[in-house]
């Protein structure tokens, strides 16, 4: 399946946001930027899922930690509703050699071949959230996320290469818990997650936030992204750790 052009996806998200009726777009537009470092805790691959060789981009090869960037725009739709769009690209690179032959997408890399691998997992999400509880200290939001997953794993070595791409739609549950610890300091636990027989996906963050002024929120925290699929076509489960810094601006 061909990858969806990034520009087309972003344009579609922005068009969807712009289509929100004016009667509902009563609140401000907020922009969020998150950056930091991401490292792989595990990343196991077998393609095809029923006949390929299972190997690890972390244990058999070595995956380097690297910087990341996530961008989000959000509308406040009245007193309890929110609509947001997220662009979260991710590419990790691995290298090394295996002490056994690796058959990946019907290409066999012999024992000891120096290998280079690239793991791509780009995410485009449109989320709706509804605040089910709000008090001076705690706010709870629950909603739904429509996610487009644009993933690829490529292995190269010994003059040979193989690449598997996978683009698909994933529905998720989103949530956010906001605890205010003081006048301008608090904790936030939020994310998107869902498990099904076809696979699972979790993208959650725990962060400390600080608001130096009402239109600006700074945060620092830990994000975990985990999940994958197990079927005849693809077996891939990854666990990623993020050290994250973020800023939300509300013009």
Phi/psi of residue 6, each to 5°? Answer: -60, -45
Q: Please report, for residues 53, 181, 188, the alpha-carbon distance to residue 161 in angstroms, rounded to integers and kept in the order given.
A: 15, 53, 43
Predicted pLDDT of residue 190:
98
Phi/psi of residue 17, each to 5°? Answer: -65, -40
Distance of CA 128 to the CA centre of its chain: 17
Q: Are strands 55-56 and 81-88 parallel, antiparallel or unpaired?
A: unpaired
Predicted pLDDT of residue 22:
37
Predicted pLDDT of residue 28:
83
Predicted pLDDT of residue 20:
37
> Of 84, 56, 78, which Cα lies nearest the Cα of 172?
84
Predicted pLDDT of residue 165:
95
Q: Are 161 and 154 in contact (CB under 8 A)?
A: yes
pLDDT along the chain (251 residues), means of 10: 43 44 54 98 96 96 97 93 97 97 95 97 98 96 97 97 94 97 96 91 98 95 96 95 96 75
Domains of the chain: 6-235 (2.40.128)
93: left (phi over 0), alpha (psi -120 to 50) or beta: beta
Predicted pLDDT of residue 146:
98
Predicted pLDDT of residue 78:
86
Q: How far apart are alpha carbons 218 and 87 in whole angstroms?
A: 19
186 sits in which H/E element: strand 185-196
Q: How far apart are alpha carbons 232 and 49 in whole angstroms?
A: 5
Instruction: Name the 3-class secondary structure at 19.
Output: coil
User: Does the predicted TM-score (pTM) go above 0.85?
Assistant: yes
Predicted pLDDT of residue 251:
75
Q: Are strands 102-104 and 91-96 parallel, antiparallel or unpaired?
A: unpaired
């Amino acid at each position: 399946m061909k990858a969806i052009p990034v520009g087309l996806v972003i344009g579609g998200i922005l068009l969807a946001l712009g289509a929100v009726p004016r009667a509902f777009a009563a609140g401000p537009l907020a922009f969020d930027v998150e950056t930091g470092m991401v490292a792989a805790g595990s990343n196991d691959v077998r393609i095809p899922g029923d006949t390929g060789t299972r190997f690890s981009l972390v244990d058999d090869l070595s995956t380097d930690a690297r910087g990341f960037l996530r961008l989000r725009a959000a509308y406040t739709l009245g007193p309890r509703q929110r609509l947001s769009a997220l662009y979260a690209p991710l590419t990790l690179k691995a290298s090394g050699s295996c002490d056994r032959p690796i058959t990946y997408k019907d290409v066999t890399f012999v024992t000891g071949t120096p290998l280079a691998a690239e793991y791509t997992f780009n995410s485009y999400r449109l989320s709706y959230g509804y605040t089910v509880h709000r008090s001076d200290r705690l706010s709870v939001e629950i909603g739904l996320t429509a996610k487009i997953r644009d993933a690829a794993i490529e292995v190269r070595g010994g003059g040979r290469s193989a690449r598997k791409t996978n683009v698909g739609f994933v529905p998720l549950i989103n949530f956010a818990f906001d605890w205010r610890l003081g006048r301008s300091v608090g904790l936030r636990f939020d994310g998107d997650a869902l498990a099904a027989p076809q696979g699972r996906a979790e993208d959650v963050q725990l962060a400390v936030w600080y608001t130096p002024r009402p239109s600006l929120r700074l945060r620092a925290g830990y994000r975990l992204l985990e999940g994958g699929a197990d079927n005849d076509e693809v077996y891939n489960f990854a666990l990623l750790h993020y050290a994250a810094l973020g800023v939300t601006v509300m013009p």
